[in-house]
């Protein structure tokens, strides 16, 4: 998909989608996904396959036994979660390692998992939600790669994403939410994920869904995930505000968040026991 011409004029490169993810996207687009072909594709990239296996076997996914192959991972977790892990690893690989980006990737993993599972519990598009969560902050990585020292100072100076977006506009003429949406488009993600990434800063800051947002429930999940990660005590109030705007059942959303919160807390406790 083409990138907005206005962004092209800024001379900020959008990294190309890795070839392995191009092929995976084509497989996922098929109405009847070939699980064997998908597993084989992931396994042909040894670095990607090993990263997927490491992620799948972490406490975060709650599997009782150790998974030995990508095919097993797909059997136990489902295609969507394994594909999301694969996209997460591919996204990280598109940018140079940097201490400043590590918290971004950790949040992306957690947010994507939360949004995907919450969407599944609410009978929404779980893949769109999971990918929106994974890619939400990827525009920051684009800007960091473009101007590491300049952007490092911006990250230190901003106390929240609204302030950061203002600094980005001043320094680069574009903010990370617009760049993130452009990367999503160039990598072929769906309209719901693109819209969520494009509007997340405003939606999270003002606790509202911009009129331009398509498929509003995914953007609403982005706001709820942000509250859950950063200020858990505000989630219940946010649900009451956002659910009517996104045509969601507030009670159902609240119950789903409680179940997911308990499951992730249990995973965290198990991980802490292993690393202690």
Listed by start position, the domains of the chain span 17-93, 100-275
d(CA 144, CA 179): 12
The tens digit of pLDDT for each residue in 135-168 reads 999 999 999 999 999 999 999 999 999 999 999 9
Tokens 């507030």 label which residue? 250
CATH superfamily of 100-275: Hypothetical protein af1432 (1.10.3210.10)
Q: How many CB atoms lie within 10 A of CB 263?
A: 13
- CA dihedral of residues 32, 36, 40, 41 (deg, nearest 10): 10
* pLDDT at res. 97: 92
Q: Residue 10 pLDDT > 70, yes or no?
A: no
> 3-class SS at 231?
coil
Which has more pLDDT, 146 or 8?
A: 146
**How far is C-alpha 150 from the geometric centre of its chain's CA atoms?**
25
Q: Enter the tokens of residue 195.
A: 């819209």
Question: Rounded distance, CA 194 to CA 200, Å?
Answer: 10
| Highest averaged pLDDT of the listed ranges 42-46, 48-52, 246-250 | 246-250
The tokens describing 177, both together, are 């939410």
By the 8 A CB rule, do 105 and 144 touch?
no
246: DSSP letter: T
Write the CA distances from 171 to 33, 143, 163, integer angstroms: 44, 10, 12
Segment 185-199 mean pLDDT: 94
Q: How confident is the model at residue 66 (pLDDT cuts 50, 70, 90)?
A: confident
Model pTM score: 0.88
CA atoms within 13 A on the CB side of 48: 27
pLDDT number for residue 272: 66
Report CA 77 to chain centroid distance, whole Å. 18
Query: Hey, what are 214's tokens?
Result: 């398509």
Residue whose tokens read 């929240």: 160
Look up residue 33 and give its two tokens. 């996904």
Distance CA 159, CA 178 (A): 20
Q: Out of 9-13, 41-45, 192-196, 213-217, give the one with best mean pLDDT.
A: 192-196
Residue 147 CB: number of other CB atoms within 10 A? 14
Report d(CA 30, CA 197) in Å as an integer. 25
Cα 188 from Cα 21, distance rounded (Å): 10
């Amino acid at each position: 998909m083409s990138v907005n011409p206005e962004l092209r004029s800024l001379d900020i490169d959008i990294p190309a989608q890795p070839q392995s993810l191009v092929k995976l996207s084509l497989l996922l687009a098929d109405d009847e996904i070939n699980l064997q072909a998908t597993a084989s594709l992931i396994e042909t990239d040894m670095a990607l396959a090993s990263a997927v296996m490491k992620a799948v076997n972490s406490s975060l996914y709650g599997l009782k036994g150790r998974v030995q192959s990508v095919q097993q991972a797909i059997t136990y977790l489902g295609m969507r979660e394994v594909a999301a892990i694969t996209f997460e690893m591919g996204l990280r690989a598109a940018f140079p390692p940097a201490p400043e980006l590590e918290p971004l990737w950790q949040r992306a993993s957690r947010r994507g998992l939360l949004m995907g599972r919450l969407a599944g519990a609410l009978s929404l598009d779980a893949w769109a939600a999971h990918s929106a969560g994974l890619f939400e902050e990827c525009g920051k990585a684009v800007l960091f790669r473009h101007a590491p020292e300049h952007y490092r100072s911006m990250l230190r100076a901003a106390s929240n994403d609204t302030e950061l977006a203002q600094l980005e506009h001043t320094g680069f003429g574009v903010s990370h939410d617009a760049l993130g949406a452009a990367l999503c488009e160039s990598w072929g993600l769906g309209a719901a994920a693109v819209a969520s990434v494009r509007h997340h800063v405003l939606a999270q800051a003002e606790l509202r869904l911009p009129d331009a947002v398509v498929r509003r429930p995914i953007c609403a999940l982005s706001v709820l995930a942000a509250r859950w990660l950063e200020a858990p005590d505000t989630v219940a109030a946010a649900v009451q505000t956002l659910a009517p705007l996104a045509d969601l059942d507030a009670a159902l959303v609240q119950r789903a968040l409680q179940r997911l919160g308990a499951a992730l807390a249990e995973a965290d406790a198990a991980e802490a026991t292993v690393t202690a």
